[in-house]
């Protein structure tokens, strides 16, 4: 409707990291292999699968399942380890221009630090995203992300060892995601990502078995979008660092909703499986939508949710009392 | 690919089981639906138009079909489907499927005139041996649909095609006409309901192959048929290739939903999607065939 206006500004910042646009993949739902069929140079950033310090195998089959509007996965983060990642996989990302955010994992606080140390001086890493939230790890791996003090120590330990921005990816499987976000900020995180997968499950009534090898799994996709929006909203109100929103984002409406709730950038996960060109379409449609909305800079929309007179902040009440 | 073979339970898959790459570059296409019709009481054939896929696909490769419509959140996962056959001139290819759940029920509702997101051709397909002779196709149920695309190629290259299409009952048979149209010298349709699918029956019918010039066996959809193929192949030193099925989310190699590796090893290869779906079979006893 707005005639000959200049294109809206979609550049966003995560600490010292500047992205050409706010659209990036969710860790685990992306790899350079996708570049065979879509132009990865259009993305705001690329996010690797989670890298552990040492090699580890993933979970037994079945690793994938489907629920209405969602999917279950229990891949369990197979990793060739930090050294092999730096030598073999990371160079494949460098064929593309967007910054590469490397996801780090661990079962203990020290494992994150070791992984960070091994990658600290490697060229081509624009930021680290700490996966303190995978629902499919053995004991230790997911409890850690539910304890604010542990998250703060993990983040601080990595921040002390690297020179690029550190992002903490938060689990929704906690009572107060605001508390975990605040702990991340206290530890020196440049941003937080909300949310990782919800814990979920699917049962085959005929065989009386879980449809997933590990019985429980991570639920993602449009089915979790309302939970993710709520978490982004609560995290964004609790911290002054940027929030990266993720959880069921499929359409440009979803992107706008997450940004209004407080997200500075967004990640796309399951929707890349549904349609591998989803992120590229969102980059295109976001610009069109901002023009239609009369928004000159996407920053105007971040956290611009308008609260009605009946607004009722359950989280604030919970933490107050 | 579209079979029912559980990868880990079935075959020892050393890295050397991965066949040599012969992979055309995959594309993402919004492919017009040309047809989506019942071809037997149990099976339906979806015909899509994508010249890029139809002209580059290799026998045994697969596609990922996005069954969800743009306005619909389900199903979230695309479906890996073996390419049943193609018309390179018309730029179309076929996928044959059976309605087994919500995803395929929705797939059956796609009508000619709409356009479906499809990625392909994907994976490493079958290879024909250098040595000329007889080749044996062993497919069961929907698994046969992973083998059909190799039939014409094999006969055109001068191989004598022997094929078994096995199923629970006659309505579940599929693919045997493709074998006949390709000029197969022997087509066996075998079903459980009349006992004709029993290994002893098939062994007798196929016995002459093991005393002859059998050079390759291609299997999909049945452990029993695969075991029979391995037995027949061992007599002549024929190669055995098997197409595997697995749940997949990406089809390209980054989701790791389909890893077929042995538990406890850090390396996740092979992936059914990117290293397969066709593997050279190596018997548990040792050597590759």
Nearest-by-Cβ selection for B263 from A37, A57, A80: A57
Residues of B near A (CB-CB distance < 8 A)? 6-8, 25-28, 66, 68, 73-78, 103, 117, 119, 246-250, 252-259, 261, 263-268, 274
pLDDT for B166-185, tens place per residue? 999 999 999 999 999 999 99
User: Peptide bond preceding B270: is omega within 30 degrees of 0, i.e. cis?
Assistant: yes
Neighbours of A291 (CB within 10 A): 17
Q: Please give the residue of chain B at the shortest CA–CA distance from A28.
A: B255
Tell me the pTM. Answer: 0.92
Pairing of strands B160-167, B134-140: parallel
Which positions of chain B have pLDDT values less than 50? Answer: 1-16, 266, 285-289
Cβ of B77 within 8 Å of Cβ of A66? The answer is yes
| Distance, CA of B265 to CA of A75 (rounded, Å) | 14
Number of residues in chain B: 289
Q: How confident is the model at residue A137 (pLDDT cuts 50, 70, 90)?
A: confident
Locate B161 and state its tokens: 């095609």
Cβ of B77 within 8 Å of Cβ of A274? The answer is yes
pLDDT for B224-249, tens place per residue? 999 999 999 999 999 999 999 888 99
Rounded average pLDDT over A34-47: 98
Cβ of A223 within 8 Å of Cβ of B263? The answer is no
Strands (E), chain B: 27-38, 43-49, 62-65, 79-82, 85-87, 92-98, 115-122, 134-140, 160-167, 186-191, 214-220, 239-243, 278-280
Contacts of B250 in chain A (CB under 8 A): 31, 33-34, 272-273, 276
Q: Which of B38, B37, B61, B39 is nearest to B50 (CA)?
A: B61
Does A222 or A321 have the greater pLDDT score? A222
Cβ of B255 within 8 Å of Cβ of A274? The answer is no
Q: In this prediction, what percent of chain B has a pLDDT beyond 70?
A: 87
A282 touches chain B (CB under 8 A): no
With beta carbons less than 8 A apart as the criterion, state whether A152 and A183 touch: yes
| Distance, CA of A42 to CA of B6 (rounded, Å) | 38
In this prediction, residue B18 carries a pLDDT of: 64
* Average pLDDT taken over every residue of chain B: 88
In this prediction, residue B22 carries a pLDDT of: 63
Q: How confident is the model at residue A61 (pLDDT cuts 50, 70, 90)?
A: confident
Locate B15 and state its tokens: 């890295």
With beta carbons less than 8 A apart as the criterion, state whether A190 and A165 touch: yes
CA atoms within 13 A on the CB side of B123: 31
Nearest-by-Cβ selection for B76 from A28, A36, A221: A221
Between chain A and chain B, the number of residue pairs with CB atoms below 8 A apart is: 121
Cβ of B28 within 8 Å of Cβ of A277? The answer is yes
In this prediction, residue B9 carries a pLDDT of: 36
With beta carbons less than 8 A apart as the criterion, state whether B278 and B243 touch: yes
Interface confidence, given as ipTM, is 0.91
Helix ranges (H only) for chain A are: 82-84, 90-93, 109-119, 148-161, 177-186, 225-238, 252-261, 270-274, 278-293, 314-320
Positions of A marked catalytic: 134
Cα of A63 to nearest chain B Cα, Å: 5
Rounded average pLDDT over A294-310: 94
Cα of B53 to nearest chain A Cα, Å: 12
Q: Provide DSSP, A114-136.
A: HHHHHHTT-TT--EEEEE---TT
Pairing of strands A127-131, A100-104: parallel
Q: Which of A122, A106, A133 is nearest to A228 (CA)?
A: A133
Q: Please give the residue of chain B at the shortest CA–CA distance from A221.
A: B76
């Amino acid at each position: 409707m707005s005639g000959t206006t200049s294109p809206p500004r979609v550049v966003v910042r995560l600490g010292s990291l500047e992205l050409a646009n706010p659209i990036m993949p969710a860790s685990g739902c992306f790899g350079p292999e996708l570049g065979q069929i879509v132009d990865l140079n259009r993305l705001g950033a690329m996010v690797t699968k989670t890298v552990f310090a040492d090699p580890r195998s993933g979970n037994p089959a079945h690793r994938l399942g489907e629920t209405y509007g969602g999917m279950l996965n229990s891949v369990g983060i197979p990793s060739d380890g930090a050294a092999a990642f730096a030598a073999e996989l990371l160079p494949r990302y460098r064929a593309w221009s967007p910054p590469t955010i490397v996801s780090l994992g661990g079962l203990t606080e020290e494992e994150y630090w070791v992984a960070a140390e091994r990658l600290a001086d490697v060229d081509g890493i624009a930021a680290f995203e700490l996966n303190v939230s995978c629902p499919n790890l053995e004991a230790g791996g997911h409890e850690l992300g539910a304890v604010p003090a542990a998250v703060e120590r993990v983040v601080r330990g990595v921040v002390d060892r690297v020179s690029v921005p550190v992002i903490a990816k938060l689990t929704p499987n906690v009572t107060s995601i605001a508390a975990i976000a605040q702990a991340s900020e206290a530890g020196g995180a440049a941003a937080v990502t909300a949310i990782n997968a919800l814990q979920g499950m699917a049962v085959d009534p005929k065989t009386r078995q879980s449809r997933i090898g590990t019985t429980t799994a991570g639920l993602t996709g449009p089915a979790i979008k309302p939970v993710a929006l709520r978490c982004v909203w609560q995290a964004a109100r609790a911290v002054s660092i940027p929030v990266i929103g993720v959880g069921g984002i499929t359409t440009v409406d979803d992107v706008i909703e997450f940004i209004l709730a407080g997200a500075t950038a967004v990640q796309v996960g399951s929707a890349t499986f549904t349609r591998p060109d989803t992120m590229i379409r969102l980059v295109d449609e976001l610009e069109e939508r901002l023009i239609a909305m009369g928004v000159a800079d996407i920053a105007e929309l971040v956290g611009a949710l308008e609260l009605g007179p009946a607004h009722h902040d359950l989280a604030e009440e919970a933490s107050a009392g | 690919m579209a079979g029912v073979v559980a990868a880990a339970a079935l075959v020892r898959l050393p890295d050397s089981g991965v066949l040599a790459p012969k992979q055309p570059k995959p594309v993402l296409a919004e492919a017009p639906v040309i047809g989506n019709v019942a071809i037997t009481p149990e099976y339906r054939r979806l015909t899509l138009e994508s010249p890029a896929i139809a002209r580059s696909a290799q026998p045994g490769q697969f596609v990922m079909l996005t069954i969800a419509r743009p306005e619909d959140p389900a199903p979230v996962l695309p479906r890996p489907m073996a390419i049943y056959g193609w018309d390179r001139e018309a730029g179309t290819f076929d996928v044959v499927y059976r309605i087994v759940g919500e995803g395929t029920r929705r797939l059956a509702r796609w009508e000619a005139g709409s356009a479906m997101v499809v990625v392909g051709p994907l994976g490493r397909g079958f290879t024909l041996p250098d040595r000329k002779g007889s080749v044996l196709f062993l497919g069961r149920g929907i698994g046969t649909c992973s083998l059909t695309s190799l039939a014409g190629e094999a006969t055109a290259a001068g191989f004598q095609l022997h094929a078994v299409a096995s199923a629970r009952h006659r309505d579940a048979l599929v693919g045997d006409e493709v074998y006949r149209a390709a000029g197969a010298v022997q087509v066996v349709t075998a079903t459980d309901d009349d006992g004709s699918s029993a290994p002893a029956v098939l062994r007798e019918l196929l016995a002459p192959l093991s005393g002859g010039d059998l050079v390759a066996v291609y299997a999909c959809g049945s452990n029993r048929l695969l075991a029979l193929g391995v037995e027949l192949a061992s007599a002549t030193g024929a190669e055995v290739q098997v197409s595997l099925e697995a749940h997949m989310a990406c089809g390209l190699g980054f989701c790791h939903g389909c890893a077929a590796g042995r538990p406890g090893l850090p390396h996740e290869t092979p992936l059914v999607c990117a290293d397969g779906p066709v593997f050279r079979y190596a018997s548990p006893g040792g050597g590759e065939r």
